[in-house]
Structure formats: structure tokens, C-alpha cells
């Protein structure tokens, strides 16, 4: 995220413990979501969310989405021919909205409540991290994908520029986890954040695509 004016988190602030039951403040026009006074999601990001969803749906298999927010990415994902859509969300109010939303989607949706750090170890083996063989047809089933879009919950994890954030913090971790450098690709897109946006002020956004092999 590119910093605009005032800092979003005060020095040393950590919202992680209280985030789950803090009120989910969707505004009347459903264009902004605030939690604990933080600007979490805004509808002007729609083209960017659609870009992330298009990448995540491109393998056509199961998708694990992390961070439901305003359902912008999730709704776009549901417009693609994916197999299953599992969604992890830690805030109670956002999760309640996810459960309602899930009832009317065209694909199987599995809402999972909690911090992804706690939920991911409970996922079934090989559901999102392995390659599978379809036994009856002996064909490969479509590969699973992950769409990760959470929100920093503390001053320590807040980042001030999306491009530096990805290059300096995410890429080294991906390489350490075993991903190959030539399988980490990025595209940029033009975007127009409104002047009043408190968390982003740059005119481009970056869509990363990380392939396993
Ligand atoms: C920026 S919003 C996601 C926006 C969403 N992609 C959309 O299209 O509307 C981030 C969401 O991630 C949730 N979140 C933040 N940290 C999380 C964590 N560690 N585990 C699970 N959910 C988290 C927040 O409560 C929030 O709903």
C-alpha cells in the first residue's frame, strides 16, 4: 500500500487480539469497510480485485481465498468455472456477511472462520497444496489456487508501498519456501485511488502470479 497522509496505525499498535469481534463497519453505500477505525477495503479497488480473481481462477480448480472483506474478489471468482471456493475470514461481522453471501453462489463455498495462520493447518491434506490425479478418468484434475488478500493488523506488519512490500518481504519468503524465481511474475495495472483514500495514493497496482512448477 502506498501511504497517503496520516499513519493508519499508531506506534506499536496491535489490533490482532481484538480484531475478530470488532464491529465490521460497512458504510451505507457499501463502498467502504472499516474495522477498529482502520480503512480496510474500498470499492474503487474493484478492477484490482478482479485482476487477482482472474489469476486465481485461471487454473479452474479449487480456490482458497484468504480475506473476504467486501466480497469483490470473491464475487468475481464465482463468475468463473472454478470447482470449489474455500474462504478464510477472521472478523465476526465480515464472516456473518460471508455466510449469507455463500448461500446464493453458483459454486460450492466453504466458509472458514479464524486467522489464516490458525485455519490453514486444519485444511485437509493435499486439498490446496498437492497435485491430484482423477482416478476415474486418469486425467489430471485442475490445479488448486490461492488468492491471498488480508490486511495488516498491527503497526509492525503495516507496509507503506505495495511494490517494495512485495519485492522486499514477499519474494524472499517465497524463495525460502521453495518457489522458483522464474515462477514469480508480476503485472501492473493503472488505477485511480480517490484523493480521500487513506491507505493508497499511487496510480498503479501490482498483480503477482506465483506458480508452483
Ligand atoms: C482488504 S480486505 C479483503 C478484500 C477482499 N479481497 C475483497 O475483494 O473485498 C481484508 C480482509 O482480511 C481479513 N483478515 C485480516 N487478517 C486476516 C487473517 N490473518 N486471517 C484471516 N482474515 C484476515 C480482514 O478482516 C478483512 O475482511
Mean pLDDT for the chain overall:
91
Helix (H) or strand (E) holding 208: strand 204-210
Q: Which CATH class is domain 16-158?
A: alpha beta
pLDDT of residue 142: 81
Q: Judge whether residue 18 has pLDDT over 50.
A: yes
pLDDT of residue 207: 95
Q: How many angstroms does the Cα of residue 39 sit away from the middle of ligand 1?
A: 12
Q: Which of these, 51, 17, 49, lies nearest to 33 by C-alpha position?
A: 49
Helix (H) or strand (E) holding 111: strand 108-113
Q: Which of these, 157, 154, 148, lies nearest to 116 by C-alpha position?
A: 148
Q: How many angstroms does the Cα of residue 155 sit away from the middle of ligand 1?
A: 16
Q: Judge whether residue 121 has pLDDT over 70.
A: yes
Q: Judge whether residue 137 has pLDDT over 70.
A: no
Q: Judge whether residue 196 has pLDDT over 80.
A: yes
Would the CB of 116 count as within 6 Å of ligand 1? Answer: yes
The reported pTM is 0.93
Amino acid at each position: 500500500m502506498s501511504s497517503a497522509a496520516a499513519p493508519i496505525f499508531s506506534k506499536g499498535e496491535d489490533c490482532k487480539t481484538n480484531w475478530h469481534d470488532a464491529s465490521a463497519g460497512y458504510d451505507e453505500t457499501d463502498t467502504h469497510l472499516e474495522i477498529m477505525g482502520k480503512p480496510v477495503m474500498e470499492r474503487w479497488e474493484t478492477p484490482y480485485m478482479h485482476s487477482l480473481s482472474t489469476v486465481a481462477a485461471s487454473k479452474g480448480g479449487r480456490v482458497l481465498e484468504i480475506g473476504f472483506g467486501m466480497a469483490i474478489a470473491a464475487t468475481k471468482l464465482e463468475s468463473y468455472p472454478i470447482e470449489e471456493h474455500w474462504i478464510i475470514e477472521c472478523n465476526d461481522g465480515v464472516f456473518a456477511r460471508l455466510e449469507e453471501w455463500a448461500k446464493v453462489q453458483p459454486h460450492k463455498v466453504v466458509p472458514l472462520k479464524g486467522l489464516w495462520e490458525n485455519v490453514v493447518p486444519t485444511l485437509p491434506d493435499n486439498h490446496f497444496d498437492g497435485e491430484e490425479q482423477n482416478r476415474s478418468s486418469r486425467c489430471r484434475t485442475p490445479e488448486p489456487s490461492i488468492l491471498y488478500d488480508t490486511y495488516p493488523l498491527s503497526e509492525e506488519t503495516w507496509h507503506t508501498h505495495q511494490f517494495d512490500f512485495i519485492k522486499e518481504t514477499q519474494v524472499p519468503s517465497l524463495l525460502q519456501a521453495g518457489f522458483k524465481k522464474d515462477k514469480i511474475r508480476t503485472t501492473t495495472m493503472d488505477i485511480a485511488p480517490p484523493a480521500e483514500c487513506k491507505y493508497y495514493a499511487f496510480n498503479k497496482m501490482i498483480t503477482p502470479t506465483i506458480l508452483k512448477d
